């Protein structure tokens, strides 16, 4: 059996930083990822990228859901080339009617680089308060819509503070390659590694006006897309008009490699190292243990063969749902493993995503969205102590704008009518108003004219929001699939209403030069969507929270499973609360922190 210092399962935000640090320190590192390696055009012998610029677009005709025991059996669905086929390996969620449905929600992307290949690249730090929401809320009696004091019961402080993570935020920003500005951010910075952002899209001037009218300090949204040569990853800006295409970042793979996904930033630079091995198309099926040591990582390789490898240290970073599933599947095979990983029954509990939503308006004029990135301005105004308490909230969040249009083909397919993922195209196809002249009018009204403002905020952690193994439904290999049980707390709904109102106000004040009467077409939050229970915002967090008390957490402060000596979980699963911003930069910073600890162990 081959043996490595570290075996890392998953090459996304939680896995790649560990590989980077340990391989650079001459440790032998194996990274296993179930997805393929999709090349940028520069890496491809013919100069044609494996990315299609429409990664989430259906790859063929519709398929029929044939799984037994789900309410949406017999329905048509489409899948893309970076997501599993729903019939092969679905996630199952329980709808409000108590019936199970198959969904693609809760998968980011199955490809080397994980979700960072498709992400919108919004790379915000969490606020200082986000790390101590239990202390912050202790003794408060002013929380709205929390009749049973769930916040005080279930919120947990992180075992590390913002100050502990701050040097790793700096290091992540340096290594990954992010453009943005620091002034007006509500968090302390010790160093500034941001690259210079592109000029904002002219349509974002409405956001500047709106935020200024509301006295919301604003800064250029940090985006993990390079705008200049980037020495740590060895990337160079192409000459000519090419970089403009990075305007379409969110939901697209970047053929140019300018988006700072973990493949181009953290893993590709390791390729020349003899002590580094990457194996794509290798799905880890389970772990085996002897006492407190993980002794085998068992995977199926690209040819379907079962292979066993060993690591002095084993890092699980499959994105939270699949990591919990992998550990539960391993526990199903071995009662001693089960007792160690889930003796306190907490594995899978306190699964989290974010409260999210926003507002959208059609602005006067028409703008070319391709000349800039998707988000120009962000504000931390709604993460402050004063804002949180004035609104009877338990936590704050971030607000930023998006310039992209619903009228872009993929956006239309995926977001028209605010549906997502598994209901792709359905809403558009069923909108019988969008035919003939009406369709022309829709494009005329929407193309180059829409402006939106989004929020991302903390979700109340609940033990009832959890990942389990489904009792009966199995993947094509016969392994039980992940069962997502979750709902929104009444305080989440209050919080989302407050934040959606703030987003609306920014547009209302922005659209008419600071008066506040501009018509905002739509505003709201995810809890009112038809499939609200399933929606996860691609932010897959919690379920293996870290903490200082072994009876109250799955992982110790270094993200080591309490009762295993050599097992670590470093994807978003470690988070006890989901933070008031998009999570990936924090996952990366924490993984760099854990990597420093691992260096002391091998
Ligand atoms: C369309 C989209 C937009 C997004 N926008 C943003 C944004 O703007 N900002 C932000 O902060 N976040 C964003 N995200 C979320 C971001 O992608 C995730 O937070 C991040 O990638 C999570 O990191 P992770 O390590 O937990 O998992 P991932 O990065 O998803 O990595 C998990 C990896 O594990 C592999 N894997 C899973 N199971 C196995 C197995 N059994 N064996 C081997 N390999 C396995 C997968 O193939 C995958 O490569 C977005 C995501 C999507 C899909």
418 located within any domain: no
Please give the distance, rounded to the nearest whole angstrom, from the Cα atom of residue 115 to the centre of ligand 1: 3
Nearest ligand 1 atom to the CA of 541 is 26
Contacts of residue 309, defined as CB under 8 A and 6 or more positions apart, other chains included, come to: 1, 2, 3, 4, 7, 30, 296, 297, 299
**CA distance linking residue 38 with residue 45, whole number of Å:** 13
Please give the distance, rounded to the nearest whole angstrom, from the Cα atom of residue 427 to the centre of ligand 1: 26
Nearest ligand 1 atom to the CA of 326 is 41
Q: Which residue's CA is the nearest one to ligand 1's atom 19?
A: 584
Burial label for 155, CB within 10 Å (0-12, 13-18, 19+), is buried
Q: Interior CA angle at 511 toward 580 and 372, to 5°? A: 65
At 461 the three-state DSSP class reads coil
Domain harbouring 41, CATH code: 3.50.50.60
Please give the distance, rounded to the nearest whole angstrom, from the Cα atom of residue 548 to the centre of ligand 1: 26
The sign one gets for the Cα dihedral 116, 120, 126, 132 is negative
Contact 314, 568 (CB under 8 A): yes
Binding site membership of 11 for ligand 1 (Cβ less than 6 Å): yes
Q: State in Å, rounded, how far the first CA of the chain is from the last one.
A: 19
Mutate to test the pocket of ligand 1, among 318, 410, 456 (most ligand atoms within 8 A of CB): 318
Bridge partners (DSSP) of residue 379 are: 218, 399
Nearest ligand 1 atom to the CA of 121 is 8
pLDDT value for 456: 97
pLDDT value for 29: 98
Please give the distance, rounded to the nearest whole angstrom, from the Cα atom of residue 276 to the centre of ligand 1: 22
Contact 536, 487 (CB under 8 A): no
Burial label for 202, CB within 10 Å (0-12, 13-18, 19+), is middle
**How many secondary structure helices (H) and strands (E) does the chain include?**
14, 21
Binding site membership of 121 for ligand 1 (Cβ less than 6 Å): yes
Q: Which residue's CA is the nearest one to ligand 1's atom 48?
A: 114
35 located within any domain: yes
417 located within any domain: no
What's 92's DSSP letter? E
Contacts of residue 323, defined as CB under 8 A and 6 or more positions apart, other chains included, come to: 10, 316, 317, 543, 544, 569, 571, 573
Q: Which residue's CA is the nearest one to ligand 1's atom 32?
A: 318
Burial label for 339, CB within 10 Å (0-12, 13-18, 19+), is exposed
Comparing CA positions, the residue from 207, 539, 497 lying closest to residue 372 is: 207
Mutate to test the pocket of ligand 1, among 179, 319, 570 (most ligand atoms within 8 A of CB): 319
pLDDT value for 414: 58
**CA distance linking residue 426 with residue 417, whole number of Å:** 9
Please give the distance, rounded to the nearest whole angstrom, from the Cα atom of residue 141 to the centre of ligand 1: 37
What's this model's pTM, rounded to 2 decimal places? Answer: 0.96
Binding site membership of 594 for ligand 1 (Cβ less than 6 Å): no
Binding site membership of 414 for ligand 1 (Cβ less than 6 Å): no
Angle between helix 162-176 and helix 16-24 axes, rounded to 10 deg: 80
| Three-state helix/strand/coil letters over 262-317 | HHHHHHHHHCCCCCEEEECCCEEEEEEEECCEEEEEEEECCCCCEEEEEEEEEEEC
412 located within any domain: no
**CA distance linking residue 161 with residue 169, whole number of Å:** 12
Of all residues in the chain, the percent with pLDDT exceeding 70 is 93
**Domains in the chain: how many in total?**
1
97 located within any domain: yes
Binding site membership of 570 for ligand 1 (Cβ less than 6 Å): no
Comparing CA positions, the residue from 270, 240, 271 lying closest to residue 256 is: 240
pLDDT value for 242: 63
Q: Which residue's CA is the nearest one to ligand 1's atom 21?
A: 115
How many CB atoms are closer than 10 A to CB 387? 17
Contact 232, 174 (CB under 8 A): yes
Please give the distance, rounded to the nearest whole angstrom, from the Cα atom of residue 108 to the centre of ligand 1: 5
Please give the distance, rounded to the nearest whole angstrom, from the Cα atom of residue 11 to the centre of ligand 1: 9
Contact 320, 467 (CB under 8 A): yes
* DSSP states of 52-80: -S-TTS--SS-EE---TT-TTTT-EE---
Please give the distance, rounded to the nearest whole angstrom, from the Cα atom of residue 443 to the centre of ligand 1: 32
Please give the distance, rounded to the nearest whole angstrom, from the Cα atom of residue 571 to the centre of ligand 1: 8
Please give the distance, rounded to the nearest whole angstrom, from the Cα atom of residue 241 to the centre of ligand 1: 30
- Classify each residue of 127-136 as buried b or exposed e, where b means 16 or more C-beta atoms within 10 Å of its C-beta: bbbbbbbbeb
Nearest ligand 1 atom to the CA of 581 is 11
Mutate to test the pocket of ligand 1, among 116, 397, 400, 555 (most ligand atoms within 8 A of CB): 116
443 located within any domain: no
Binding site membership of 108 for ligand 1 (Cβ less than 6 Å): yes
**CA distance linking residue 507 with residue 503, whole number of Å:** 7
Please give the distance, rounded to the nearest whole angstrom, from the Cα atom of residue 338 to the centre of ligand 1: 26
Q: What is the domain range of residue 310?
A: 2-405+448-599
413 located within any domain: no
Please give the distance, rounded to the nearest whole angstrom, from the Cα atom of residue 38 to the centre of ligand 1: 15
| Ranges of the chain whose pLDDT falls below 50 | 421
What's the CA dihedral at 414, 419, 421, 423 to 10 degrees? -100
pLDDT value for 136: 98
Binding site membership of 33 for ligand 1 (Cβ less than 6 Å): yes
Nearest ligand 1 atom to the CA of 320 is 26
Give the distance from CA 343 to its chain's centroid: 28
272 located within any domain: yes
pLDDT value for 435: 84
């Amino acid at each position: 059996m081959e043996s490595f210092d570290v075996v890392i399962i998953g090459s996304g935000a939680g896995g790649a930083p560990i590989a980077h640090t340990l391989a650079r320190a001459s440790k032998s590192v194996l990274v296993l990822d179930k997805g393929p390696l999709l090349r940028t055009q520069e890496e491809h012998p013919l100069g044609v990228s494996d990315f299609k610029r429409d990664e989430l677009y259906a790859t063929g005709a519709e398929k029929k859901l044939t799984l037994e025991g789900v309410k949406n059996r017999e329905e048509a669905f489409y899948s893309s080339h970076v997501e599993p086929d729903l019939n092969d390996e679905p996630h199952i969620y329980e709808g409000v009617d108590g019936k199970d449905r198959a969904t693609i929600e809760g998968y980011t992307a199955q490809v080397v680089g994980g979700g960072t290949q498709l992400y919108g690249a919004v790379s915000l730090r969490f606020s200082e308060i986000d790390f101590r929401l239990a202390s912050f809320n202790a003794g408060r009696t002013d929380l709205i819509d929390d009749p049973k004091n769930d916040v005080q019961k279930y919120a947990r402080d992180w075992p590390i503070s913002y100050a502990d993570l701050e040097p790793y935020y700096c290091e992540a920003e340096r290594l990954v390659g992010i453009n943005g500005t620091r002034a007006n951010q509500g968090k302390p910075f010790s160093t500034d590694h941001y690259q210079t952002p592109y000029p904002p899209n002219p349509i974002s001037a409405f956001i500047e006006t709106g935020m200024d009218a509301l006295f919301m300090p604003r800064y250029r949204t940090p985006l993990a897309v390079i705008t200049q040569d980037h020495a740590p990853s060895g990337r160079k800006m192409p000459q000519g008009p090419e970089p403009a295409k990075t305007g379409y970042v969110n939901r697209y793979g970047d053929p140019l490699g300018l988006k700072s996904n973990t493949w181009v930033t953290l893993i590709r630079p390791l390729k020349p190292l003899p002590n580094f091995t990457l194996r794509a198309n290798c799905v880890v099926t389970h772990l085996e243990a002897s006492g407190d040591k993980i002794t085998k990582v068992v995977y199926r390789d690209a040819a379907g063969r079962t292979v066993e490898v060993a690591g002095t240290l084993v890092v699980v970073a499959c994105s939270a749902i699949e990591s919990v599933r992998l550990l539960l599947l391993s526990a199903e095979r071995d009662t001693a493993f089960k007792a160690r990983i889930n003796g306190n029954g907490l594995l899978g509990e306190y699964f989290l995503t974010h409260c999210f939503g926003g507002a959208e308006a059609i602005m006067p004029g028409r703008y070319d969205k391709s000349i800039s990135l998707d988000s120009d301005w962000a504000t931390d105004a709604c993460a402050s102590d004063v804002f949180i308490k004035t609104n009877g909230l338990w936590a704050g969040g971030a607000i930023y704008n998006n310039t992209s249009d619903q009228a872009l083909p993929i956006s239309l397919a995926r977001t028209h009518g605010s549906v997502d993922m598994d209901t792709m195209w359905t809403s558009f196809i069923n909108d019988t108003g969008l035919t003939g002249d009406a369709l022309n009018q829709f494009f005329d009204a929407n193309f180059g004219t829409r402006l939106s403002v989004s929020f991302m905020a903390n979700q109340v952690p609940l033990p009832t929001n959890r990942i389990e193994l489904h009792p009966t439904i199995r993947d094509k290999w016969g392994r039980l699939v992940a069962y997502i049980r979750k709902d929104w707390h009444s305080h989440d709904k209050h919080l989302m209403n407050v934040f959606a109102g703030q987003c609306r106000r920014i547009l209302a004040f922005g659209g008419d030069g600071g008066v506040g009467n501009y018509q905002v077409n739509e505003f709201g939050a995810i809890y009112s969507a038809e499939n609200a229970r399933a929606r996860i915002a691609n932010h897959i967090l919690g379920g293996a929270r870290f903490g200082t008390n072994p009876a109250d957490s799955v992982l110790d402060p270094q993200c080591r499973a309490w009762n295993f000596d050599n097992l670590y979980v470093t994807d978003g699963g470690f988070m006890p609360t989901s933070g008031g911003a998009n999570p990936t930069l924090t996952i990366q910073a924490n993984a760099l922190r854990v990597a420093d600890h691992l260096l002391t162990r091998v």
